[in-house]
């Protein structure tokens, strides 16, 4: 995928025991200020693969940075496979989470001028990526300052039916990623990690949830929103009227409010350098 400011990179992953790719957006300030370190957004794509969305997401960041709406940052477009779910698969065939946490993060910090602390890392993603953003941030509270959970799924406590897929597709996903075991699915769920680490998350993790009210996953997201409320985890809950499971329309509707989340998340990055 080629887009302004975006480059493609390959690194060796010990977890995968092979090469793994990612794309990286660098703002103009990265070259203009050669001694400066930058916070990092880890962008987690939805199901089906991440390539189609890279250009539009990178362009959205680039425009906002040039207009001063958000501090300059790097955006790492993670390769989460078509249906990787940002978990380590039960059968060991796809250690996606381990690749990200044990290999990709250290590689990015060693290769690029990053703010290599939790205050300099933000997770964002849509659909499957929103699910990944929630579970990784809530599980690895020492690594990520903020989690943006947008149009996320699957957020329900059991993977029997999914609003955007058939029962057969849900069963296939459960079997592939979670060994066909509902208990494994729940153990890996952001619901579980939110409950387990509620006090730590509530203390200093910035969390937002965004969903269109016409999104098929709305009910599950609203239920997760109430789950966070019951755990005392502060977060913003934004419902976009008249919008479905459509990332470009969601972010367009958010407008400048989208970038206030980033400004707040990165406010501590400067002092963390």
CB 178 within 8 A of CB 185: yes
CB 213 within 8 A of CB 237: no
Asked whether residue 210 is assigned to any structural domain, the reply reads: yes
What CATH number does residue 95 fall under? 3.40.50.1820
**Structural domains counted in the chain:** 1
Asked whether residue 1 is assigned to any structural domain, the reply reads: no
CB 120 within 8 A of CB 269: yes
Asked whether residue 273 is assigned to any structural domain, the reply reads: no
Asked whether residue 16 is assigned to any structural domain, the reply reads: yes
Distance CA 118, CA 147 (A): 11
Asked whether residue 129 is assigned to any structural domain, the reply reads: yes
DSSP class of 88? B
Asked whether residue 272 is assigned to any structural domain, the reply reads: no
Residuewise pLDDT in 10s, the chain (273 residues):
788 899 999 999 999 999 999 999 999 999 999 999 999 999 999 998 888 899 999 999 999 999 999 999 999 999 999 899 999 999 999 999 999 999 999 999 999 999 999 999 999 999 999 999 999 999 999 999 999 999 999 999 999 877 766 566 888 889 999 999 999 999 999 999 999 999 999 999 999 999 999 999 999 999 999 999 999 999 999 999 999 999 999 999 999 999 999 999 999 776 665
Distance CA 174, CA 83 (A): 11
pTM equals 0.96
Asked whether residue 3 is assigned to any structural domain, the reply reads: no
CA distances from 168 to 155, 171, 172, 173, 174 (A): 18, 5, 6, 9, 10
CA-based radius of gyration for the chain: 17
Asked whether residue 98 is assigned to any structural domain, the reply reads: yes
Residue ranges making up the domain that contains 149: 8-265
């Amino acid at each position: 995928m080629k887009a302004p400011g975006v480059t493609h990179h390959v690194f060796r992953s010990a977890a995968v025991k092979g090469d793994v790719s990612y794309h990286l957006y660098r703002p103009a300030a990265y070259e203009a200020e050669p001694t400066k370190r930058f916070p990092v957004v880890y962008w987690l794509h939805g199901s089906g693969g991440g390539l189609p969305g890279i250009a539009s997401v990178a362009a959205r960041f680039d425009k906002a940075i040039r207009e001063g709406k958000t501090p300059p940052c790097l955006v790492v477009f993670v390769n989460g496979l078509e249906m990787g779910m940002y978990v380590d698969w039960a059968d060991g065939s796809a250690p996606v989470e381990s690749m990200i946490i044990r290999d990709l993060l250290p590689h990015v910090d060693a290769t690029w001028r990053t703010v290599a602390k939790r205050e300099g890392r933000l997770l964002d993603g849509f659909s499957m990526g929103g699910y990944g953003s929630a579970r990784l941030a809530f599980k690895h509270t020492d690594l990520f300052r903020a989690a943006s959970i947008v149009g996320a799924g699957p957020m329900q406590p059991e993977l029997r039916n999914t609003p955007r897929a058939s029962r057969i597709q849900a069963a296939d996903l459960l079997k592939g990623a979670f060994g066909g075991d509902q208990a494994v699915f729940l153990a890996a769920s952001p619901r579980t990690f939110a409950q387990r680490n509620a006090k730590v998350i509530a203390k200093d993790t910035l969390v937002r949830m965004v969903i269109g009210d016409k999104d098929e996953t709305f009910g599950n997201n609203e239920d997760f929103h109430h789950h966070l409320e019951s755990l005392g985890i502060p977060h913003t809950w934004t419902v976009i009227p008249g919008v479905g499971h459509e990332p470009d329309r969601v972010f367009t509707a958010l407008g400048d409010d989208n970038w206030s989340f980033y400004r707040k998340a990165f406010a501590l990055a400067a002092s963390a350098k």
